[in-house]
Amino acid sequence: MTVGKTLRLSIQVICAVVLIASCGDSKDKFQKPKKSKSIAMIKDNARGIINNTNSPNVKLKSIDIGDCQWTEGFWAQKWKQAEETMVPYMGSLLKGDIGHGLNNFKIAAGLKEGEHKGWWWHDGDFYKWMEASMYIYAVNKNEKIVHEMDEIIQIISQAQQENGYLSTPIIIRDDLEPFSNRRYHELYNSGHLLTSACIHHRVTGKTNFLDIAIKHADYLYDLFVPITPELERFGFNQTQIMGLVELYRTVQDKRYLELAEQFINLRGTYEINDTTATKGYPIGDMVQERVPLREETEAVGHAVLALYYYAGAADVYAETGEKALIDALDRLWDNVTNKKMYVTGAVGQTHYGRSSRLDKIEEGFIDEYMMPNMTAYNETCANICNSMFNYRMLTLTGDSKHGDIMELILHNSGLSGIGLGGEDYYYSNPLRKIDGALDYEKMNVEFPERQPYLKCFCCPPNLVRTIAKSPAWAYSKTENGLAVNLYGGNKLETTLMDGSSIKLSQKSNYPWDGAVEITVEESKSEPFEMLLRIPAWAKGSTLKVNDQSIETIAPGSFAKIEREWSTGDIISLNMPMEAKFIEGHPRIEEVRNQVAVKRGPVVYALESTDLPKGTDITDVYISSSKELKSVHKTDVLGGVTTIETDLLIRKDELNGMYNEVSKPKMETYATQLIPYYTWSNRGQGEMTVFMPIIWN
């Protein structure tokens, strides 16, 4: 660190007045903004993960953070692991010299000597870990978490510039100017700062983090409104839209909603070229700037950037109700889900490629139905962003199809990003692994096994904060009742939209068992509705109240029960859980004549660990005539339901690239399939989700 930088940071800590004087006129690196009065406007006490209680265009409203708690079974185990292992372990990385996240803030605050480490967006990933910590605190009320956050927030406050600017790579380095190149990802950091601060305020009631967020949001508003040509291309990594909307919902300052909408409106409105502000970073479809959102017809470019954009637009629609926005989001949802999404709910087919309009893209969407398995990128962040987008669409539309996708991701391509021990991570999530087929030494973020730390650390905290907040996704409030979005053992204590109290308990061994029992512990005496999501896969489901059958129940919809409820009433839902073959669309060339196996919401995979030694995964076939037997095994992979079946292994050798063939020699082998999310937890080996099928 130079003497000049050390002096400037010391002045910042000691005396803001002297700092302002040292910054000079309006052309200096850090300018003084207008003074915000937003903090005085806080008046909404709702505490949802997205605070849509007063949003006029939302059908399903958020319950408060902490109202629902997982109590038993699958998600209770995952949440407990997040509390005891995932979040603490991640904190040890980010607060130490490996992750260096807190060190960056200390250096920026003048409290530590050193250089910035990590990617440009590392601040945002640190904020995600802070957000995850708040979801844990909302349930366990461990005051040590709040005390630790207060200490960290104080450091962040000291790092923040007097004018509100806050992105440590630029603050630390003398040779860089704020918002001089969009590859610095300053607005990504901004979005996660605003979101994390809002969650911190909702859970703790404190304003120390919120003060920082408001000061920063005021800086952004002064900088971007009115927009200048030099800045119009910066809002490409769209976390700031969600963050600004949440801040608007928290403090009721309409400027933040205005700025969020401006970031939507800017895309596709300017000439695309490689100017100084974009040099060194891909342009065009990669960052959603070829076509205005309201006119877009397909998902293109970087999958995370795209889905953050869609989620942010959904938040804006919740406040404005603009039809063109929801129409575009419906089109894009259909394009993603029905033409570019894997059977696991994963998205982002390739690491490097071209969009349909021939722009260079990375980590993202390519042509429709082009779905490679072995080189499938499927960044964990992209999969989580897909669930975030679908959660928002569920709240806007009340359509259960969005809950189905949310559930699919949570049980498959989301959880596959973290090991069963909670301390190692995958960035990409392919559907097939063949030994020796990929040269991992030449790759950036793909690895043969999960890693204890990823230099690009965006995915791990994104996944962990999702597990930590998952109870808040389980239920929503309707105009006069509740909707059950996710299943698993839990208890709910909340208030309905009319302010009346309701308490429920849910018992279930979901997703291993399709039986769900919901007991009314307390409720108002007037009639209200209970909506239960019946997944599209759950054909033949039955629904009862106090052993009385509910006749109208359709897979792929919410079953509605409206009645006067009493303490002790029991809702019983039974969803058949037989294993089924899943085939791809005929245009997905790579899986023609192949099938995957799915049971309930869980997709299965075959690992070479469960095959004879030396067997290549590409020599394995599945037979339509063999039984798919579900067997729960408490001693396998932390306790999972496996699928036992007889597979066929081809024994004749193929030596050339193309070979003459007669009827191949096959041997039967009894083995098991495991849930996809558990793969690569028993050492290195091969894996596949899709297998060629012999119909007999």
pLDDT tens figures, 453-502 = 999 999 999 999 999 999 999 999 999 999 999 999 999 999 999 999 99
The pair of structure tokens assigned to 577 is: 């859980």
Cα(120)–Cα(169) distance, rounded to whole angstroms? 6
* 348 Rama sector, left if φ>0, alpha if ψ -120 to 50, beta otherwise: left
Which regions in the chain score pLDDT beneath 50?
Answer: 1-28, 32-35, 37, 40
pLDDT at 663: 87
SS3 category, 467: helix
Q: Which two tokens stand for residue 518?
A: 């919901």
pLDDT given for residue 39 in this prediction: 52
Closest listed residue to residue 630, CA positions, set 668, 578, 574, 689 = 578
Identify the residue whose tokens are 């394995």: 620
Both tokens of residue 49? Answer: 């993960």
**With contact defined as beta carbons under 8 Å apart, do 514 and 576 qualify?**
yes
Mean of pLDDT over the chain = 92
Closest CA to 317 of 338, 289, 293, 301: 293
How many C-beta atoms surround the C-beta of residue 374 within 10 A?
Answer: 14
| Angle, CA of 427, 414 and 125, to the nearest 5° | 55
Q: In terms of residues, how long is the chain?
A: 696
474-574 topology per CATH: Immunoglobulin-like (2.60.40)
Residue-level pLDDT at 261: 97
Domain ranges of the chain: 34-281, 474-574, 585-694
Q: Which amino acid is at 210?
A: L
pLDDT value, residue 266: 92
> How far apart are alpha carbons 405 and 314 in whole angstroms?
16
Is residue 98 within 8 A of residue 455, CB to CB? The reply is no
Q: Look up residue 192 and give its two tokens.
A: 């996660």
For residues 158 and 10, the answer to whether their CB atoms sit within 8 Å is: no
Beta bridge partners of 493: 503
Do residues 266 and 235 touch, judged by C-beta distance below 8 A? yes
Tell me the DSSP string of 255-277: HHHHHHHHHHHHTT-S-----TT
Per-residue confidence (pLDDT) for residue 656, from 0 to 100? 86
How would you classify the pairing of strands 481-484 and 528-534? parallel
Burial 471-508 (b: 16+ CB within 10 A, else e): bbbbbbbbeebbbbbbbbbbbbbbebeeeeebebbbbb
Dihedral over Cα of 555, 575, 76, 637: its sign = negative
Pairing relationship of beta strands 640-650 and 666-675 according to DSSP bridges: antiparallel
Predicted pLDDT of residue 44: 54
